[in-house]
Chain A
Amino acid sequence: MEYFLELFFSGLTRGSIYALIALGYTMVYGIIELINFAHGEIYMIGAFVGLVVAGILTSFGFPAASIIVLASIAAIIYAAAYGYTIEKIAYRPLRGAPRLSPLISAIGMSIFLQNYVMLSQTSDFLSFPNLIPEFNFLGKYESMVGSSDFVIIVVAAVVMVALNLFIKFTRMGKAMRATAQNRKMAMLVGINVDQVISATFVIGSALAAVGGVLIASHIGQINFFIGFIAGIKAFTAAVLGGIGSVPGAMLGGLILGWTESFCTGYVSSDYEDVFAFALLVLILIFRPSGLLGKAPIQKV
């Protein structure tokens, strides 16, 4: 039972992170029907910015609590800026091009960003300081839910609730929903669609950066390649829940986290990544619209 609970919570932690990154995929797909292949790299860049800022602040002797806040804020700002720039350079000139073009452009962007970070930082793993201070709040259950697990789960939950409220009640959120439903109509009623798309990229990237800093601090090391696997897994989560649906991304993230955690715990840890990929292939074959998604209508 204890082992089960341990796996359950480690799955919950993983799942929360996947869900955070998956939201970026789902939001972008919902609005412009593009798989933003470079989204995993945004997450990676967020983690790197967090590392750099944390390193600089430590060398100036800032207190630990302020470092995590400032590093996260810097990571969010930078990831959002990168997301905005990528959209402007690689996707905006391709509006209205055949579907394959923006996808290839996105893959190119992803390769470019990976190598950009590899060449300017290093290809080795860099150790990431543990930014989340240890606090014992569970007594003897401490081994199951560490303090960083707890922080990750809580932060992810808060962020998701906030995002849902944002989409439901703010002006921009309403504009986003309208654009997702019908871009031309949204334009006709006076919504600045370019602005909405930019905002979507900015928000999605900011969420990925939160995930990046949290997971980097949890695992303790990063390198230029972490975005690739995390990106694919988050994409799996998005597809699992139904791409385009925000609650779907959260649900998908959690299911994927638990699947991985239980499969590695009870089956074999060698094939950790295979489980995620196999799940992805299975979903796409049997239910490509995902759990909460709607099957797309083909228009002639």
Chain B
Amino acid sequence: MEGLKKSILASLWFMFLTLPIMGVFVNTIDKSVTWHLDRVLYVGVAAFILSYLWRFMLERKEKGQKAEEQASVEKVTLFSKLMVNPKIYWPALIAVAGFAVAFPKLFSMYQVNVMTSALIYVVLGLGLNIVVGLAGLLDLGFVAFYAVGAYSYALMNMYWGISFWVALPLGALLGAFCGILLGFPVLRLRGDYLAIVTLGFGEIIRLVLENWGTFTHGPSGISNIARPEFFGFAKGFMAQINFMYYLMLVLVIFTIFVVNRLKNSRIGRAWQALREDEIACQAMGIDKMKTKLMAFSLGATWAGMVGVVFAAKTTFINPASFTFLESAIILSIVVLGGMGSILGVILGALVLILLPEYMREFSEYRMLIFGATMVLVMVFRPQGLVRDVRKKIDISAVKKALGGAHE
């Protein structure tokens, strides 16, 4: 009964809220007013149903928290159990690998193209994951490094005719260099200040690209960027697209390998410690500045490298591809997937990039859903799709061998 009253109130409240924005459209030039009251009615019905769901989810979350506190043992989900079990893990990995290799043979050119862009976002997500997920530094200008990579290839190709294979490491280096350049002064700022500074930096880069017309061709962008040469292979248009896909696949595997190694390395542990508690971390003798700078520039390296691939793939770039929204998309990949978790970020990228692509009729609602997802994930499932599982060394066997003498 109490719930019904609350839901009716919520429904009325949301109808009131959406009335002027969704319910009316005015045109002040020809002084016409169009009413869409039916939309407001839908909002009311939706709010009524959703408010039940909202309360149910909140209750469940609270119960979950209490249960976790009481149990005091870290709960291992079925999924992560499966992931650790080698009987399931290896065949699954081989199946995925086989599918990935056979993909261009099985599907059309369009699909391959879409998949290549999804893989670009996988690498971007993994790069940002180092900065946000592992080190806990919120970077809202990540796309600036992506732009640096893309523009460095496009400009070097246009002015000096530098080939893709030379540009790829150069783009990565430039990305890292810009990461250090920006990171050095701003990394002593705390979380939310850092977020805003990186946002400002991203916007400055975009505005400069847009306004420095004589050098970057301004808003009209750079076209006819050379596609990469594959040492005599892949002469046709079709084959080039397939090779682009394989190139991205190799890059993804390389990224996963490196990020995975980094995560469990000394520096990776330092990042995670820094994320949890900065002051305690300093007390432990970790060089805060160096560690943060490492995370920042390593993240930027991936963005720079993928930027080169992006420029080569589309053969046309302009500043409109590097807006804040792009940063937000990459951030929501990391957040939705599960901050810190590699598998989570990959799943997040595939879901967020492929889903709107295949559901064309929803594509204009894409950003709306992104925004809502970010809020909902933070409220109900802050760990994301896949919870980051830390590698632990099981010492119970050692304890047993010692016969509990030290306890």
Interface residues of A (CB under 8 A from B): 34-35, 45, 48-49, 51-56, 58-59, 74, 78, 81-82, 85, 89-90, 93-94, 97-105, 107-117, 119-122, 126-129, 228, 232, 235-236, 239, 270-271, 273-274, 277-278, 280-281, 284-285, 288, 296, 298, 300
Contact = CB atoms under 8 A, between A and B. Distances in A.
B204 A277 contact: yes
Interface in B173-208: 185-186, 189-193, 195-197, 199-201, 203-204, 207-208
B324 interface: yes
Given A277-B200, A284-B189, A284-B196, A108 B378 contact: yes
B371 A110 contact: yes
A283 to B, nearest CB: 10
A58 B189 contact: no
B21 A284 contact: no
Given A278-B204, A281-B201, A52 B20 contact: yes
Contacts of A34: 192
B21 A117 contact: yes
Interface in B25-61: 25-29, 31-33, 39, 58
Contacts of B196: 35, 232, 235, 239, 280, 284
B265 interface: no
A103 B368 contact: no
Contacts of A120: 18, 21-22, 39
Contacts of A300: 279-280
A296 B71 CA distance: 37
B147 interface: no
Contact of B331 (A101, A107, A281): A107
Nearest to A99: B191
B293 to A, nearest CB: 15
Contacts of B33: 55-56, 59
Contacts of A277: 200-201, 203-204, 207
Contact of A111 (B21, B195, B370): B370
Given A274-B207, A296-B190, 13 more contacts: A51-B26, A52-B20, A52-B24, A89-B379, A100-B191, A105-B379, A114-B367, A114-B371, A115-B371, A120-B22, A239-B196, A274-B204, A300-B279
Interface in B310-337: 324-325, 328, 331-332, 335
| B interface secondary structure, majority | helix
B2 interface: no
Contact of B195 (A89, A103, A239, A270): A103
Contacts of A103: 138, 191-192, 195
Contact of B335 (A74, A104, A288, A298): A104
A126 B21 contact: no
B189 A129 contact: no
Interface of B: 13, 16-18, 20-22, 24-29, 31-33, 39, 58, 132, 136, 138, 140, 185-186, 189-193, 195-197, 199-201, 203-204, 207-208, 211, 279-280, 324-325, 328, 331-332, 335, 364-365, 367-368, 370-375, 378-379, 382
A52 B204 contact: no
Contacts of B17: 78, 81-82, 85
A123 B132 CA distance: 31
Closest 4 CB pairs of A and B: A108-B374, A55-B26, A112-B371, A111-B371
Nearest to B378: A105
A284 B375 CA distance: 27
A271 B13 contact: no
Interface centre among B138, B197, B208 (most CB of A within 10 A): B197
Nearest to B211: A270
A29 to B, nearest CB: 9
Given A119-B365, A281-B200, A108 B371 contact: yes
Given A81-B16, A110-B371, A281-B204, A100 B138 contact: yes
A197 to B, nearest CB: 17
A111 B330 CA distance: 13
Given A99-B192, A284-B186, A116 B21 contact: yes
Interface centre among B24, B190, B193, B364 (most CB of A within 10 A): B24
6 contacts: A52-B25, A93-B58, A94-B379, A100-B138, A232-B199, A285-B186
